Structure 1
C-alpha cells in the first residue's frame, strides 16, 4: 500500500490546482472583476506573486545550505536564487501598474458607454 504524500506535498499540489482554477476563472470574468483579481495577484504583501517570490527565496536559502553540505549541486542554489531575484524584479516592475488596475476595478459599472480607444500594442517597421 502506497504511503500518502506528506502534507507539504499535498499542499503544493492543491495550490497548483487552485492556481490553474484561478486562471480558468480569470479568462471568463467580466473586465472589472478580472482587473480586481489581477491587482490582488500582484499585491506585494498578500498577493500570489509576492508569495511565489517568497517561496523561491526560501527555497534558495534551503538549497544554499544543502549545497554547502554537498547534498545539492551549487548550480541548484544559484538557479533558485536567480529565479527569486528575477521574480522580485518582475514584481517591482508590475507594482507600478497594480494601483492602475485597482483603480479601474473600483470604478462602478455605469452601463454602456463609449468604449475607450484601443491602444496600439505593436509597432511594425517597414522593411
Structure 2
C-alpha cells in the first residue's frame, strides 16, 4: 500500500507548479499587466520574493539546528544562510524600483501619441 504524501511536501510541489504556471502566463501578458504582476511579486512584506526569502530563512534556522545535532553538514546550513542573505540583498536592490513598477503597471494600456524613449540597457548603479 502506498503512503500518502505529507501535506507540506504536497504543498511545496503545488507551489512550485503554480510558480511555473505564473511564469508561463507572465511572458504572455500585455506589458501593463506584466508590470502589475511583477510589482505584486516584489511587494515588500506581502510579495512572493519576501515570502521566498522568509522560507529560505526558516530553512536555514532548521538546518542550523540539524547541523548542531550532527544530522546535516554545517555547509548545508551555511549555504542556506548565504542564500537568505543573497535573496535579502536582491530585495534591497529592487526596493528603489518597486514604486516605478507599480506606477507603470497602473497606467492605462492605451497607446500614446509619442512612444517612450528606449532606455540604455547598461546603466551605472547609484548608491
Do the two structures share a fold, i.e. TM-score over 0.5?
A: yes
The match for 1:101 is: 101
The match for 2:79 is: 79
The match for 2:22 is: 22
**Structure 1 residue runs without a partner (length 5+):** none
SS in 1 for 2:119: coil
Structure 1 distance, partners of 2:46, 2:13, is 20
Shift of 1:122: 4.6
Q: TM-score, structure 1 length as denominator?
A: 0.92
The match for 1:65 is: 65
Runs of 4+ residues deviating >6 angstroms: none
Shift of 1:112: 4.5
Structure 2 distance, partners of 1:42, 1:62, is 25
How much is the aligned-residue C-alpha RMSD, in angstroms? Answer: 1.3
The match for 1:11 is: 11
